[in-house]
Structure 1
Amino acid sequence: MAGAGPEACHARGMTDREEPVAAASGRGGFGMAGGGPVYASSGRVAPRPPAADGDQALAARIATVQEVLDGLPGSAIFLMPVFGDDGEVADFRIMAAAPDAVDIAARRGQELVGLSILETYPTVVGTELWRGYLRTLESGVRYEGDPFEYEEVLAGIPRLSRFAVRVAACQGGLIVSWVRLDSGEREQRRLTVMQRLAMMGWADWDLTGNVVTWSDEVYAIFGRDRAQEPMTLAELRSQVVAEDLPALVRTVRRLLGEGKPIDHTFRITTAVGEVRHVRIVAEAEMDARENPVEVLGFFQDLTPAKRAEQQLLEHQRAALAHRSLLAAERDLAGRLQHALLPVPQQSLRLAGLTVDVAYQPLQEGLNVGGDWYSAIELPDGSALLVIGDVAGHGLDAVATMAQLRFTAKGMAITGTPLATILTRLNTLLLHTSERNFSTATMIMAHYEPDTSQLSWVQAGHPPPLLLRQGRAHYLPAPRGILLGATTAPHYEASALRLLPGDQLLLYTDGLVEKPGEDVDEGLARLVAAATAPTGGARVLDGILDALVTPDARRDDICALHISL
C-alpha cells in the first residue's frame, strides 16, 4: 500500500497542515477508542463534501491510513485537526479507526469515525493529553506521557479510569493508541479478594532462576512478614510441625522427581505459635529431560474447616455417648419394669375369680411409664387386685411404682384396711427423699370368695367398668384424691356383690385417653368395645384390638379383666 507505512506518516510530518479538515460537529458517545472518556453531543454532522483536488487527496490519505489501522490490533484511531478562524487548532476529528477500537458505550471500529474530540471529550481540552496532541502535531515528536486519568459516570456512579496513551504524527494528523490500565487493576483486586475469601494464595517457584514469588495471601497463611523473601520448597520445612514433616518431604520429592501433581495437607506453626492446617496443591513444569524447571501451585488455610470438623466430631462423640447412656438407662428401666411385672399377658385363677392381665409399655427411648398391677391371693384365701399409674416416665416412675406395689402388697397381707393403705401410701410419696415425681393414681380391690363381696378404694383413678347381663356401666367412685396431692387426704371404701357371669374391668388412662380429646369420649369407646361380640377370643384381647392403635399410642396401657 503506497504511503501506508510508518515512513509515510513521518515523512509527511506537518506538510499537510495547509489542508485543514472542515469543521463539523461529531456524534456523541466516544471518548477514547477502547474505553476512554465519553461525553454525549448533538449527533454526527458529515464533513463538507470534497470540493477540490485537495479534499480528494485528503480522502485518499485517510483511506490509506484506514488500511494500516485495519491490520492493527487493539485500540487505535486517526485524528485530523480542525482549525478555527484564527488558524489555531480548535478540535480533532476521528477520521479512521482500527476494527478492535471500542469505547465504553460499546461503539466499535467504523462507528467511531466522524466523532469530534472537543464535543465528545470537552474536559480533555487544556489537559496534558491535549497539549501532547498539539505538540506532536506541531513537532512530529511522539508523545507518551504519564497515565491519563478520566472520571466516568456509569449507572450514576463515578469511577476513575486510567489509560496509557501514545500519540504519533502521521499524514498531517495523529495516530492515537492506548491501553486501559484500570481494567487489569480491577481484575487484580478481584483476584486478591477471591484469594482472601477462600483463604488461598498462589505461589511460583522458578527452579532455574531460583526465584520464588508469593501472593500476599500466602504471606498471611504462613504468618510471614512481607518484608521477608518468600520461602523455597526446602525452606518450608522450617515451619512444618515435626509429625507432618516426613510425609510432606515425600510428597515434594514425588513432585520434583516424578513430576506428578500433589495435593497434600500438613500443619505449620506461625511465628506467634499458632498451629494452622495448610493445604498445598501444585504441579511441576518439566524440561525435555524431565527435569523440573518451575513449580506452580497454591496454598489454602484449612484451619477454620479443620476446627469445624473437630467440633463436629466432638459433637458426634458426645451424641454417641448420650445415645449410649440413654440406651443403657432405657434397658435398665425396662429390666426393672419386667422384673416387677414379669408377665405382660397372662390369665390367673384367684379365689374363684378368673383374672386376665394385659400390660403394654410404650417404651420409646426412655419413655418407660409407671403403669403397674398386682393380682395375688392373700393368706386367708381372699384375693387382692390392684392397678396403678405413677405420673411421669423413666427410672423415677419405675422406682416409685416399685415402692407403691410392694408396700401396698405388704400392708394388705397384714390385714390393713384398704382406705388406710392409701393414706399411708400418700404419706410415703410425700416423704420420699429426692422426690422427682408428682402424683400417682390407684384402685385397690379386695375379694372375699365366701360372700362374693368386692370392696374397693380409689385414689384419683378412672372408674372400674362392670359388665352384667350384657350391659356395661361405670361404678360410682368412692371418695379419694390421687396420691401425693395433699398432706390430709380422705379415702372411703365402696362395696358390691359380684354375681355369676359378672365381669369387671380395671384399666389405666392410656386405654381411654387421647391428646386433645375429652375423656368421656374415650370412656364411651371402652363401653362399646366391652359390649361388642368377641367371637370366642378373650374379652380383654377384643377390647385392646378395638381401642389400641400402635402407631397412635402416647402412653403405657395396663388392664385387668376380672370375671366370676
Structure 2
Amino acid sequence: MTDHVQPSPPGSDGIASASGDGGSVYFPRPCTARRPPDTGGEPAPVLAEAAVQSVLDGLPGSVTLLLPVRGADGTVADFRIAAASPEAVDIGARRGKELIGLSVAATYPTVVGSALWEGYLRALRTGLRYEGEPFEYEEVLAGIPRLSRFAVLASASHGGLIVSWVRLDNGEREQRRLAVMQRLGGMGWADWDLVRNTATWSEHAYSVFGRDRSAGPMALDELPAHVVGEDRVELSAVVEQLLGTGRSVDHTFRLTTPRGEVRHVRIVAESERDAHGHPVAIHGFFQDLTAAKRAQAQLLESQQAALAHRSQLTAERDVAERLQHALLPLAQQSLSLAGLTVDVAYHPLQEGLNVGGDWYSAIELPDGSALLVIGDVAGHGLDAVATMAQLRFTAKGMAITGMPLPAILTRLNTLLLHTAERSFSTATMIMAHYEPATSKLTWVQAGHPPPLLLRRGSASYLSSPPGILLGAVPAPRYEAASTHLRPGDQLLLYTDGLIERPREDLDTSLARLARAAVRSAAEGGALDGILNALVDPVTRRDDVCALHVSLRSPAAPHPAVPASPVS
C-alpha cells in the first residue's frame, strides 16, 4: 500500500526532503513532571536531550528524536523535535540542529492524521517498532513539484520516538541525471558481454543510431554493415581490434539511419579482459557528432569564403592602385621640364584612398613649353575623384592642342555645368603656361588662391586675373595674367587645404603661408619645409596639394629625375 503525503516530509518528524540514504531518529528527553495516568504503559523518559544529541551527532543519515506533546486529557496532540543528526534535512532545507524545537504538527500539518501519524502513536503506545510501507509524497520547491519515495522506521525509546527514514528514489534520480547528460551530449552507452554473447544499450544509444528499440542492440561485428561504404573498412578494423587484442579505441565513422539520414558517430570503447588477457566484455559509448561536424563544415565554408573575399579585395585594391597612378602618377615627386624643377606633394584627406578632389598636372608640351595645373573639386570621396579626373584630363587634352588658357577654363565650366548626374557644383583651379625661351609665365585662375612668388628672400602673391570658380555661372569671364620668372625664383601653387584654418580669415592664412615659405627657402627646405610648418596630419580637414616651381640658374645642374610626359 502506498501513502501520499503533501507537502509534508515523509517519515515521521516531517523531515520531508532528506537527501541522504540514512534515516531520521528522534530521542526522548527526561521529564521531571509526573506522567499522566493514561499513558498506555509507556516507559518513563530517563535520557537527557543533550546526551541523546551527542549520540546523534555521531550517526550518519537522517535520524531524529521526537518527544510527545500531550493535551489536557493526556493524549498525544503533537511531537516536538528534541534532537537531530547532522545529516537530517527537512523540506524547508533546514538541517541538523536547525530542526531542534520544531513542532511536527505545526511545521508539517499534513502529517497529522495520516497513516504515518497513526504509526507514530501506535509505536509510542505499544513499544513495538513501526515500519511503514514505502510511501510517496510530493514536495514543492521553487514552485516545482517533485515526487519522492521513502521508507520510515520509528521505535519507542524512553517515552519518545527514534525515527529514521531512507529515501528510496536516489538511484532513480541518478538515472534521470545520467539520461539528461546522455541526451544533452548526444551520447548513449553500450555493453557487450562476449562470454554470454549479449549486448545492452542505453535508451540514447538507440537514438544515436535512429534505431527502433524493438530491434534490440547490435552486436559489435554488425556495426560495419550500417556505415557509409567509404568508412566500412576502417570501422571493421576497429571492431577487430576490440575483439582481438582488446585495445581501447576512439574512432569516428558515418552511418546511415533507417530514414536515410547520414550521421557522424564517434565510438569510444575499452575491453575487460580475463586472467589470460582475452577480452570478455566491451564497455563504451556512442556519440552523435553530426551537429558538430555540420558546424565545422560551415566554419570551413565561411573561412574559404573569407579567403575568396580577401583575394577579391586584394585584386580590387591592385586595380584601385593602378587607377590611382593613372589619375595622379605619384603622391610626391620631383620633375624636370622646360628648364624648371617642379616638386609635387599630394595628401588626400580620406584615409585608404590615395586620390581625392585635389589634383595637379605638370607636363612638357610638344613645343617644349611647360603646363602647370592645380585644382580642387568641392567635396571628398569617389564622386569628387570622378569629377577631378574629368576636369584634369580634359584640361590637359585641350592645352596640348594649343588652345588659349581662358578658353580652356570656359569650356571646363561648360563641361562641369552639363555633366549628367553631377554631384558637385563647383571646382577651382589655376592653369599656368611657361615659355622657357622668354621665361614668361602666363596663367589663369577660376576662384583659386593666388600663386606665391619667392624672389631674393621675400615673398609676394601674384595679382589674380578675373575668373570665377568653375560651375558657378553659365557665362563666366576668364582673363590671363603674365609675369617673367628670373633665375632663382620660386613659385608655389597650392590648394586651400594648405592654408585654411577654422574661424580664420583668408588674409591671415595667406600671411602665415608667406612667412613659412620665406623661412623654408632660407633654410633650404623648399616644399618639405612648408608642409612641415603648415600641415598637421591629425587636425587637417581637407586634401592638400602643392606644386613648388623653381627656375634653375644657368649654371645649376639638372635634377636627376627627368620630366615625365604622363604626369
The verdict on a shared fold, with TM-score over 0.5 as the criterion, is yes
Deviations 1:371-421 (A, max 9, x none): 543333445554321234566567x88787665545433322322122322
Deviates more, 1:124-133 or 1:423-432: 423-432
Change (3 A) 1:393 1:432: same
How far residue 492 of structure 1 moved from its aligned partner, in angstroms, is 0.9
The residue aligned with 1:332 is: 319
The residue aligned with 1:207 is: 193
Change (3 A) 1:268 1:98: same
Mapped to 2, the partners of 1:459 and 1:417 lie a distance apart of 15
Deviations 1:155-210 (A, max 9, x none): 7x5755534123365669766432235666666555555555x4433413243562
Change (3 A) 1:94 1:317: closer
For the pair 1:507 / 2:494, whether they are aligned, the reply is yes
Matches within 5 A, 1:479-490: 479-482=467-470, 485=471, 488=474, 490=476
Mapped to 1, the partners of 2:426 and 2:282 lie a distance apart of 77
For the pair 1:492 / 2:464, whether they are aligned, the reply is no
For the pair 1:145 / 2:130, whether they are aligned, the reply is no
How far residue 426 of structure 1 moved from its aligned partner, in angstroms, is 5.0
Indicate if the aligned counterparts of 1:386 and 1:444 stay in contact, CA closer than 8 A. Answer: yes
Indicate if the aligned counterparts of 2:68 and 2:76 stay in contact, CA closer than 8 A. Answer: yes
Mapped to 2, the partners of 1:180 and 1:359 lie a distance apart of 86
1:165 aligned residue (151, 163, 176)? 151
Deviates more, 1:437-446 or 1:311-320: 437-446
Indicate if the aligned counterparts of 1:207 and 1:292 stay in contact, CA closer than 8 A. Answer: no
Change (3 A) 1:539 1:400: same
Mapped to 1, the partners of 2:173 and 2:75 lie a distance apart of 40
The residue aligned with 1:345 is: 333
How far residue 66 of structure 1 moved from its aligned partner, in angstroms, is 9.7
The residue aligned with 1:417 is: 404
Deviations 1:238-277 (A, max 9, x none): 5544334444444455555555554444444444444444
- What amino acid does structure 2 have at the position aligned with 1:319? A
Mapped to 1, the partners of 2:422 and 2:240 lie a distance apart of 69
Deviates more, 1:518-527 or 1:272-281: 518-527
Matches within 5 A, 1:143-292: 143-151=131-139, 159-160=145-146, 162-167=148-153, 176-181=163-168, 196=183, 198-208=184-194, 210-216=198-204, 218-225=205-212, 229-237=216-224, 240-251=227-238, 253-254=240-241, 261-292=248-279
Matches within 5 A, 1:108-119: 108=96, 117-118=104-105
For the pair 1:466 / 2:453, whether they are aligned, the reply is yes
Mapped to 2, the partners of 1:162 and 1:541 lie a distance apart of 88
Indicate if the aligned counterparts of 2:193 and 2:282 stay in contact, CA closer than 8 A. Answer: yes
Question: What secondary structure, in the 3-state scheme, does the structure 2 residue paired with 1:542 have?
Answer: helix
Change (3 A) 1:93 1:540: closer
**Aligned Cα root-mean-square deviation (Å):** 5.1
The residue aligned with 1:126 is: 113
Indicate if the aligned counterparts of 1:46 and 1:114 stay in contact, CA closer than 8 A. Answer: no
Deviates more, 1:525-534 or 1:277-286: 277-286
Question: What secondary structure, in the 3-state scheme, does the structure 2 residue paired with 1:59 have?
Answer: coil
The residue aligned with 1:455 is: 442
For the pair 1:312 / 2:295, whether they are aligned, the reply is no
TM-score (structure 2 length as normaliser): 0.70
Mapped to 2, the partners of 1:274 and 1:128 lie a distance apart of 55
Question: What secondary structure, in the 3-state scheme, does the structure 2 residue paired with 1:178 have?
Answer: strand
Mapped to 2, the partners of 1:212 and 1:386 lie a distance apart of 90
Indicate if the aligned counterparts of 1:422 and 1:459 stay in contact, CA closer than 8 A. Answer: yes
Question: What secondary structure, in the 3-state scheme, does the structure 1 residue paired with 2:46 have?
Answer: helix
Mapped to 1, the partners of 2:303 and 2:232 lie a distance apart of 30
Indicate if the aligned counterparts of 1:333 and 1:398 stay in contact, CA closer than 8 A. Answer: no
Mapped to 2, the partners of 1:32 and 1:547 lie a distance apart of 86
Indicate if the aligned counterparts of 1:346 and 1:358 stay in contact, CA closer than 8 A. Answer: no
Indicate if the aligned counterparts of 1:82 and 1:90 stay in contact, CA closer than 8 A. Answer: yes
Change (3 A) 1:367 1:271: farther
1:48 aligned residue (27, 31, 46)? 31
Indicate if the aligned counterparts of 1:329 and 1:366 stay in contact, CA closer than 8 A. Answer: no
Change (3 A) 1:244 1:86: same
Question: What secondary structure, in the 3-state scheme, does the structure 1 residue paired with 2:548 have?
Answer: strand
Mapped to 1, the partners of 2:161 and 2:532 lie a distance apart of 103
Mapped to 1, the partners of 2:520 and 2:326 lie a distance apart of 35
Question: What secondary structure, in the 3-state scheme, does the structure 1 residue paired with 2:150 have?
Answer: strand
- What amino acid does structure 1 have at the position aligned with 2:342? V
Deviations 1:308-359 (A, max 9, x none): 4433333333333233233223323333444666564224242x54433445
Indicate if the aligned counterparts of 2:65 and 2:84 stay in contact, CA closer than 8 A. Answer: yes
Mapped to 2, the partners of 1:522 and 1:332 lie a distance apart of 38
How far residue 103 of structure 1 moved from its aligned partner, in angstroms, is 3.9
Change (3 A) 1:302 1:407: same
TM-score (structure 1 length as normaliser): 0.70
The residue aligned with 2:556 is: none
Change (3 A) 1:66 1:337: closer
> What are structure 2's unaligned runs of at least 5 residues?
1-11, 20-26, 36-40, 552-567
Change (3 A) 1:97 1:249: same
Indicate if the aligned counterparts of 1:336 and 1:398 stay in contact, CA closer than 8 A. Answer: no
Indicate if the aligned counterparts of 1:204 and 1:296 stay in contact, CA closer than 8 A. Answer: yes
- What amino acid does structure 2 have at the position aligned with 1:490? P
Change (3 A) 1:307 1:548: farther
2:18 aligned residue (35, 42, 47)? 35
Indicate if the aligned counterparts of 1:165 and 1:176 stay in contact, CA closer than 8 A. Answer: no
Indicate if the aligned counterparts of 2:375 and 2:430 stay in contact, CA closer than 8 A. Answer: yes
